[in-house]
Amino acid sequence: MNPADAAKTVARAAPIMASARSNPNEKDLANLAGLGTALAALATQVPEAAQTRIVALSFQFLWEISPPPKNGKREPTDRLTVSKVCALTGTENLALVEVLKWPFCVGEAQKLVLAELEHRTHRKFDGNVWKFVEQADSLGIAGLNREFLERPARRPQITNAIAEVQHLRPQSKK
């Protein structure tokens, strides 16, 4: 899908996801996570959709991320999407550190975020968040210190994603 078509689809999908999330009768986390995966995959094709990618990632983390493939099998779509969103999450490493603080960033999700931070910092964390914390002061990430790590997580706001895609909408009509 080309970026213009992806932008149109993202502009239509984000409000649907927001209404599903705010619906008190929607209790199917797998459904919400699936919506998150689909929206994140689309948003990776739209450079201006940074907030939408982060919100979609938070939805994805509502459900367990697939384990790595074995014996040369294909990487599962959810893993590919998480990896791509992490790679596209700003040039500022602090945004990824914020993702690590989310309550649902556990297991394979946490390992994938740490893998991207390993790539960016050229350090090894072996999928262990505590190895990251031990090295935090020496990573050279602007703004990363004990105080930052001890602050509560800043969770993504779906209202920011909706505002972002509404801004994309006029561009997608061209």
The residue ranges of every structural domain in the chain are 3-172
* Band (173; pLDDT cuts 50, 70, 90): very low
Mean pLDDT score, 144-155: 91
- At residue 66, the pLDDT reads 94
The dihedral over CA atoms of 128, 133, 138, 139, expressed in degrees to the nearest 10, equals: 60
pLDDT (tens digit per residue) in 5-25: 666 666 666 666 666 656 656
The overall average pLDDT reported for the chain is 83
pLDDT (tens digit per residue) in 32-61: 777 777 778 777 888 888 888 888 888 889
| Max Cα distance, the chain (Å) | 49
The dihedral over CA atoms of 47, 49, 51, 56, expressed in degrees to the nearest 10, equals: -110
- Identify the CA nearest to 113 among candidates 81, 153, 145: 81
**CB–CB of 56/26 below 8 Å?**
no
pLDDT (tens digit per residue) in 59-115: 889 889 999 999 889 999 999 999 999 998 876 678 899 999 999 999 999 999 999
| C-alpha span between 162 and 18 (Å, rounded) | 8
| C-alpha span between 1 and 20 (Å, rounded) | 25
Amino acid at 105: C
Token readout for 68 is: 């790595």
3-class SS letters over the chain: CCHHHHHHHHHHHHHHHHHHHHCCCCCCHHHHHHHHHHHHHHHCCCCCCHHHHHHHHHHHCCCCCCCCCCCCCCCCHHHHHHHHHHHHCCCCHHHHHHHHCCCCCCHHHHHHHHHHHHHHHCCCCCCCHHHHHHHHHHCCCCCCCHHHHHCCCCCCCHHHHHHHHHHHHHHHCC
Amino acid at 36: G
Say if residue 117's pLDDT is above 50: yes
pTM over 0.85: no
- Identify the CA nearest to 58 among candidates 163, 171, 153, 172: 153
**CB–CB of 8/46 below 8 Å?**
no
pLDDT (tens digit per residue) in 123-141: 999 999 999 999 998 998 8
